[in-house]
Amino acid sequence: MVHFTVAVLLLALAPRLHAQDPKDEIQKRLTSQFVLTKTTADGKDIVGDGGSVLVLHQDGMIMFSLDNGVMPAITYNNGKLSLTFKDRLAANMGLKSMQTGINFANVPQRKFVTGEKFWITAFHVTDKHVLLDFYSDPYDNVRYFGQLKIPYKKNNIPPPDEVMTEIAQVVTVEPADNAAAAAATKKPAASPAAPKTIALGQTKDQVESIFGQPPKKATLGAKEIYYYQDMKVTFVDGKVTDVN
């Protein structure tokens, strides 16, 4: 009877225990924080408008050229990014499997620094760390990719808030551009002024109200001519008879 009661209690608690799995909670927080960028099947380009744009807050995020097919992992620990021995070893093994003679020292790479931006294509929550996969815009026609590793202290899965705080020390999502929304709330711009024109038959007063006093005037018998910068207006009996 006792064994039966314990079994019933465990069954009742199982869903609750599962719901409190910290890895699941971390996964949910990552999903709500980051919109993943989708790439083409060959990984060479971004599909659509992309997802979240990340801003880097630490120097030293090393990424390899996409053409090498190996994504290096850079570890964030004790407030800084660093390449651990295990990170380097794993990268070298991957590079060696792709091409003889290529290693961390000579593979095409780029070191990203504070303030630079890139995309996020995936994230992974494991029993030992959280991994975020990054993907850059082209630099001299070369895209780069890399992985950020956030290890757990003593391999104990921390609370989700703690994990997200550590991630935010390295990268944050660039705020959405509100310029378009702000522009939409502004009053529409005034319509451009109609071009200034002169019509035959207009009086001198009408012409002067539009173009102002001419720099030069001339009287030739019954004709009076106004000379403007790019125009000559001829009046006869005080009315426009010719414009050229």
pTM across the whole model: 0.64
Say what the pLDDT of residue 244 is: 83
Which long-range contacts link 209-215 to residues 24+ away (Cβ below 8 Å)?
none
SS3 93: helix
Beta bridge partners of 208: none
Residue 192, token pair as written in the block: 């451009």
Cβ atoms of 122 and 54 closer than 8 Å: no
Is residue 112 predicted with pLDDT exceeding 50? Answer: yes
* Domain locations in the chain as residue ranges: 22-175, 204-243
Tens-digit pLDDT profile for residues 145-156:
999 999 998 878
